[in-house]
Amino acid sequence: MRMNLGVVYNKDGKIVNHRSLIKVIFNPFLRLFGIQIATQYDKERNKLCKPVITKTKKIKKVNFKYSLEDGWTIKKERIIA
């Protein structure tokens, strides 16, 4: 199994996501209860801040699949094989 972790940027250089090992492992299970671990984002500085717990749509089954959209890249990438 290959897991891409780090900061996800779109083709314009704006941050669109942050993938950490804790979020990848726990969020699929937390979403069963309608919550998730998210990373706060400062739009003005295009910078990530601290992690927070937020409400989200409940899901019915655990899903670990993740794909990048066209033009998105991961920087500060760590790969776990």
In terms of DSSP H, where are the helices of 1-81?
Answer: 21-30
In a domain, 45, yes or no: yes
In a domain, 30, yes or no: yes
Q: Whole domain around residue 43: which residue ranges?
A: 3-62
In a domain, 81, yes or no: no
In a domain, 70, yes or no: no
8 Å CB contact between 24 and 3: yes
Its pTM surpasses 0.75: no
In a domain, 20, yes or no: yes
Predicted confidence pLDDT, tens digits, the chain (81 residues): 466 788 888 888 888 888 888 888 899 999 999 999 999 888 888 888 889 999 999 989 887 777 777 877 777 655 444
For the chain, the domain total comes to 1
In a domain, 80, yes or no: no
In a domain, 71, yes or no: no
Q: Which two tokens stand for residue 3?
A: 């897991």
User: 55-59, long-range: CB within 8 Å, 24+ apart, which pairs?
Assistant: 56/31, 57/31, 58/31, 58/32, 58/33, 58/34, 59/31, 59/32
In a domain, 78, yes or no: no
